[in-house]
Amino acid sequence: MRICLIAEGSYPYVSGGVSSWIHSIITEMKEHEFIIFAIGAETKKKSEFRYELPPNLIEVKEVFLDEYMYEGNKWGKRYNLSVAEKESLAALIQGQEQVNWGQLFDLIRSDKFRNVGDFLTSMDYFDLVEELGKNTYSEVPFTELFWTLSSMILPLFLTIRHEIPDADVYHSVSTGYAGVIGTLAKHVYNKPLLLTEHGIYSREREEEIIKADWLKGYFKDLWINYFYTLSSSIYESADQVITLFNRNKEIEVELGCAEEKIRIIPNGVDIVSFAHVETALDDGIIRIGAVIRMVPIKDIKTMIQSFALVKQEVPNAVLYIMGPAEEDEIYDKECKQMVESLGVEDVIFTGMVQIKDYIGKMDVMILTSISEGQPLAILEGLASAKPFVCTNVGGCKELINGGPNDMYGPAGFVASVMHYEEIASYVIKLCQDRKLRETYGNNGFERVKNEYKRSEFISSYREIYQTIGGKVDGGYRLRTS
């Protein structure tokens, strides 16, 4: 069977998290061929893969959202769009839930336009923006509205115009652009479509937009509604939607996904692979570890503020921030400057490391994200019998405290998002109580050993692929495009 995994901003360019999840799916299912439709932000990252590609990964289709910068265009053409085509475009631009995606795909992919830029410099598009300005944004300068909308929809239209590889099953690993491409693939080939939603993409984009200082306030709702509209495409078209825990399912239903489509499959961890990690060192140092990408949504600045308070009470504490910085070099620099400005000692930025070389030596693990799904970092920490302090996002609370019928006990503490004083108080409590660290670590180990088995996670997806996709094909050959 040939399976096309559609990923945005993750595999194979970024390590950890969703990327590790994708890599596990491919490497564990050697009986299937896989294609990656990889949506990246910048063309300069082309072929900069963080993973050694498995032999059954036969193609990597790379698409970058900044490709429009390299297109030429000609102003002022008119394409005489039909009323229905105009209505579909207007629904997308205005952030309406009911978009005729099939009609929109056919229009954007048609040979009417030489490229996306030609359409966005056409009189037809100008008329649409002018109408929106009159009806909704009459107090906003037209040029601001025009260029804001253009920057919003250009990457989407460019992505839609790319060729979709032929496969037996299409599997988007988020909504957003990846979700739209999944919907497009089903429209083009009429093949089964799966969605796995780790975090709630549209909610994450909303949080980022609310905090963004590059976007004026009166355009924030426009962008937020736009991302919810993108997500609605695959909620409608997917044959099955898979999420990781019950709260995510509830949110998806709130956002318009049919409840009967949704199945919960938790992530899993291979306990055996962590059996031989080193144990915490008894050398008088308390090591606090964070396995994390250096990006704003992980809120490393709150972590640093918390550690500054921890150092006042636990002077022998050391914070290890372990993870890649290349994804957002500006944020990485800001975090390191914050350490200097606060005068905090013993903060070590390791960069990308082999987690098993470090995690066993930690006494306490910490995660301060403002949004998560079901973090692999927590699963791996619990598999190493380490207690956690984490924020109350995604499935973190369930991992730490268990579900309604939990029989294992707490594996740490769950704190409020961005509440650095509360986070610090919990870290201090663990640092000062070795017995509590051991108890919570053992509780977490037992929970993941019994409830979050990697083998069950893989077998669940294997069964889904086999059920909806049919028989297995053979022969592996890597293609890149």
User: What CATH number did the domain enclosing 57 receive?
Assistant: 3.40.50.2000
pLDDT of residue 477: 44
pLDDT of residue 68: 66
Q: Is the model's pLDDT at 305 over the cut of 60?
A: yes
Indicate if 390 and 403 belong to the same structural domain: yes
Indicate if 21 and 45 belong to the same structural domain: yes
pLDDT by residue (tens digit) across 149-206? 988 998 999 999 999 999 999 999 999 999 999 999 999 999 999 999 999 999 999 9
Q: Is the model's pLDDT at 457 over the cut of 70?
A: yes
CB 179 within 8 A of CB 233: yes
Q: How far is CA 443 from CA 307, 380, 387, in A?
A: 25, 14, 9
Distance (Å, rounded) from C-alpha 276 to C-alpha 270? 12
Q: Which residues of 289-312 are buried (b: 16+ CB within 10 A; e: fewer)?
A: bbbbbbbbbbbbbbbbbbbbbbbe
CB 58 within 8 A of CB 478: yes
pLDDT of residue 135: 86
Give the number of other CB atoms < 10 A from CB of residue 159: 23
Indicate if 104 and 181 belong to the same structural domain: no
pLDDT of residue 72: 61
pLDDT of residue 80: 83
Q: Tokens at residue 209, please?
A: 């937009």
Length of the chain counted residue by residue: 481
pLDDT of residue 280: 77
Distance (Å, rounded) from C-alpha 363 to C-alpha 316? 12
For 471, phi and psi rounded to 5 degrees? -80, 165
pLDDT by residue (tens digit) across 428-456? 999 999 999 999 999 999 999 999 999 99
Q: Is the model's pLDDT at 211 over the cut of 90?
A: no
Angle at 373 between CA 368 and CA 376, to 5 degrees: 75
CB 309 within 8 A of CB 421: yes
Q: What is the DSSP string of 31-88?
A: TSEEEEEEEES-GGGTT--SSPPPTTEEEEEEEETTGGGG----TT------HHHHHH
- Domain hosting 80: range is 70-154
Q: How far is CA 339 from CA 346, 348, 369, in A?
A: 10, 10, 18
Indicate if 425 and 279 belong to the same structural domain: yes
Q: What is the DSSP string of 227-264?
A: HHHHHHHHHHH-SEEEESSHHHHHHHHHTT--GGGEEE
Q: Is the model's pLDDT at 138 over the cut of 90?
A: no
Nearest to 26 by CA among 50, 49, 5: 5
Nearest to 241 by CA among 223, 224, 229, 259: 259
Indicate if 179 and 249 belong to the same structural domain: yes
For 48, phi and psi rounded to 5 degrees? -90, 75
* Average pLDDT over every residue of 52-67: 94
* Average pLDDT over every residue of 229-236: 95
Nearest to 197 by CA among 210, 183, 209, 179: 179
Strongest mean pLDDT among 179-188, 196-205, 277-286, 323-332: 179-188
Indicate if 309 and 431 belong to the same structural domain: yes
Q: What is the DSSP string of 429-477?
A: HHHT-HHHHHHHHHHHHHHHHHH-BHHHHHHHHHHHHHHHH-SPP----
* Average pLDDT over every residue of 303-319: 97
Helix 434-451 and helix 420-431: axis angle, to 10°?
A: 100
pLDDT by residue (tens digit) across 9-41? 999 998 888 999 999 999 999 999 999 999 998
Tell me the CA end-to-end span of the chain in Å, nearest whole number. 21
pLDDT > 90: what percent of the chain? 72
Distance (Å, rounded) from C-alpha 12 to C-alpha 19? 7
CB 117 within 8 A of CB 153: no
Flag the least confident range among 60-69, 346-355, 381-390, 395-404: 60-69
Q: Report DSSP state, residue 269.
A: B
Distance (Å, rounded) from C-alpha 227 to C-alpha 95? 8
Tell me how many domains the chain contains.
3
Which of 99, 124, 154 terminates a domain? The answer is 154
Indicate if 322 and 262 belong to the same structural domain: no
Which of 132, 154, 176 terminates a domain? The answer is 154
pTM of the model: 0.89
pLDDT of residue 115: 81
Indicate if 31 and 113 belong to the same structural domain: no
CA 141 to chain centre: 34
Which of 97, 132, 154 terminates a domain? The answer is 154
CB 234 within 8 A of CB 195: yes
Indicate if 194 and 233 belong to the same structural domain: yes
Indicate if 116 and 183 belong to the same structural domain: no
Indicate if 114 and 145 belong to the same structural domain: yes
pLDDT > 70: what percent of the chain? 96
Nearest to 248 by CA among 234, 263, 238: 263
Indicate if 359 and 476 belong to the same structural domain: no
Amino acid letter, residue 224? I
pLDDT by residue (tens digit) across 393-412? 999 999 999 988 899 999 99
Nearest to 422 by CA among 298, 272, 302: 302
CB 432 within 8 A of CB 243: no
Question: CB neighbours of 269 closer than 8 A, spacing ≥ 6?
Answer: 376, 379, 380, 382, 383, 448, 452, 453, 454
Q: Is the model's pLDDT at 481 over the cut of 50?
A: no
